[in-house]
Chains A and B, each alone.
Chain A
Amino acid sequence: MEFPKDLKYTKEHEWVKVDGSIATVGITDYAQDSLGDVVYVELPQEGGSVTKNEPFGVVESVKAVSDLYSPVSGSVAEVNDAIIDSPEVINDDPYGDAWMIRVEVHSPNDLSDLLSAEEYQKYIEEEK
């Protein structure tokens, strides 16, 4: 299982990639592996807003339905509509083609409590 070092992570198993004021969000390799085959994903509208630690969407696999929690607050700048038609991408390429939303971050402080790759890896070891 991979956890790229240039990403930040949440305890709800999302990853964030920060580029200036834009944060790209997806779910981790561990999350897609635990969920199993993803069959459905629901994402917010472009231009809508998301709140840190609040649900911004839903991901459904053959096993379970889970909320997606936003790691940051801000407005939704871009939505990856492609994964709505092909949710299997979430299993195949969780850190690449399966990014979910890009958020224009309001407060850079939001990023300070996110986990590093090492911290996240340690966290999921404990959770097992």
Chain B
Amino acid sequence: MSMNGAKGLLLEEPVIFEKSSPGRTGVEPASFDVPEADIEGIIPKQMLRGAIEGFPDVSEMDIVRHYTRLSQWNFGVDSGFYPLGSCTMKYNPKVNEEAARLPGFAMLHPYEPEELTQGALQLMYELENYLAEISGMDAVTLQPSAGAHGELCGLLAISAYFKDKGRPRTKVIIPDTAHGTNPASSHLAGFKVVPVKSEGRGVLSLDAIKGVMDRDVAALMLTNPNTIGLFERNIKEIADFVHKKGGFVYCDGANLNALMGIIKLGELGVDVIQFNLHKTFSTPHGGGGPGSGPVGVKKALAPYLPVPRIKKTRSKYSLDFNRPKSIGRMKAFYGNFSIMVRAYSYIRRMGAEGLKRASETAILNANYIKENLKGTYHLPYDEPCMHECVFSDKYQLGSGVATMDIAKRLIDYGFHPPTVYFPLVVHGAIMIEPTETETLETLDKFIVAMKAIAEEAKTSPQALKDAPANTKVQRVDETKAAREPILRWRKG
């Protein structure tokens, strides 16, 4: 089997500022057909910027080559397999891009009146309903602009609910298998985080929740499937117990790609969920973005969702700002609209059956990788997994090879590394999420590469320590980059 990784010619490229040559331009604007005005006579002096330091004078070709070369140094889901666990780096179908570029959507101005935006409002209204149907929720807002932003929105709605009822609650329970953003979002929403450990088989137990649940707990915030890739099988009885104590259950929807069309989280007792459209619903992700993190809630929390809400009366759509209990706006205007168009396009193109098959195939692919690699790499939780599986470097540590070296070596074989050192409950975690969009041939190549690397760890560990060797830039000093970051270019 020939591997993906190969050497190729890459061209050096300086930062754009260093390509500047005074007076060089890309385009020559037409000459004025109106009298030239003195800018200082129109705009107050203190609001004029004057010169911009280092602003590059470059030609059109300079710019095209600059960004093309930089893009060739990069690795994206359009260039190869990207099994980044917990991130669902699935392929982004090009039909989504076509839909988002329809002039009626792409040229829309957020201040256009409702009569002229009925199509866009209908799309948003229907997308809300699709997401509610997929998750078993009663109401959805599309406003938040990323997953963690959605978490904050959902938690603020929970906080507003308890304040509104005259009995504010102060704590959120978060298991050790939750996403890292969950404690941060809770903290930002003003809650105190109560950590709870998962039991021996990597899932939450009712007893663990009973130990920490009281009348000050506003919500249990869990991820299902959790970050070990396991289904929280006790979720229903845990949710029933949390409800009995008057709390809500927030499910981080980052891992929804394992559940679409198979179960509705709402029916398992979940009251709030955020949808990462840039993960599960195939919109661009990881630097490309922007993200989108709609939030679904049960009826009790619906009055607290951000304004404006989209309302449908007979056949007319409108924006409803008259929601006195609302937490207010989460974002300017209505969220990242072009991302909603892409997610809508994905859902419509897949259909209910297609979405279910996507989740089933994502689970099958993860289990295929898990079964094929489990003798080669240590598998801390040998259970049927959902859409991702977690290994560790325990078998390789003896020869001085750690997770980071394995990850870097994968680049030489032409694969993006998986998520490493997360989740924290597994020492030296290697978290692989193949997604449903990869072929069996790609999965087999990846498995062969992982096995070859395990072999190299025994016979030539130094090759792993020095990896990656085929890339333009070799191993970078991540510690120095974090300790002494250089965040902006300055004239030399």
Contacts and interface: CB of A to CB of B under 8 A. Distances in A.
Contact of B482 (A34, A39, A64, A66): A39
A63 B421 contact: yes
Contacts, number: 22
B424 A37 contact: no
A64 B479 contact: no
A1 interface: no
Contacts of B421: 63-64
B427 A128 contact: yes
Contact of B422 (A39, A62, A64, A66): A64
A65 B482 CA distance: 13
A88 interface: yes
B427 A40 contact: no
- Most chain B beta carbons < 10 A, residue from A34, A63, A65, A87: A63
B427 A39 contact: no
Nearest to B423: A64
Interface string A55-95: 00000001111100000000000000000000110000000
Given A63-B421, A64-B422, A34 B479 contact: no
Contacts of A39: 479, 482-483
Nearest to B482: A39
A124 to B, nearest CB: 11
Contacts of A37: 478-479, 482
B478 A34 contact: no
B188 to A, nearest CB: 15
Contact of A62 (B180, B424, B427, B482): B482
Interface in B402-461: 420-422, 424, 427
A37 B484 CA distance: 13
Contacts of B424: 64, 66
A74 to B, nearest CB: 20
A90 to B, nearest CB: 12
A128 B392 CA distance: 12
Nearest to B427: A34
Interface string B473-492: 00000110011000000000
A127 to B, nearest CB: 9
B483 A87 contact: yes
A64 B420 CA distance: 10
A81 B424 CA distance: 28
Nearest to B420: A63
Contacts of B478: 37, 62
B129 to A, nearest CB: 38
Contact of B479 (A62, A65, A66, A128): A62
B171 to A, nearest CB: 13
Contacts of B427: 34, 128
Contacts of B479: 37, 39, 62, 88
B422 A40 contact: no
A77 B421 CA distance: 35
Interface string A34-55: 1001011000000000000000
A56 to B, nearest CB: 14
A2 B151 CA distance: 42
- Most chain A beta carbons < 10 A, residue from B420, B422, B424: B424
A34 B427 CA distance: 8
Interface in A77-128: 87-88, 128
Interface of A: 34, 37, 39-40, 62-66, 87-88, 128
Interface of B: 180, 420-422, 424, 427, 478-479, 482-483
12 contacts: A37-B479, A37-B482, A39-B479, A39-B482, A62-B478, A62-B482, A63-B421, A64-B421, A64-B424, A65-B180, A88-B479, A128-B427
Given A39-B479, A88-B483, 4 more contacts: A62-B478, A63-B420, A64-B421, A65-B180
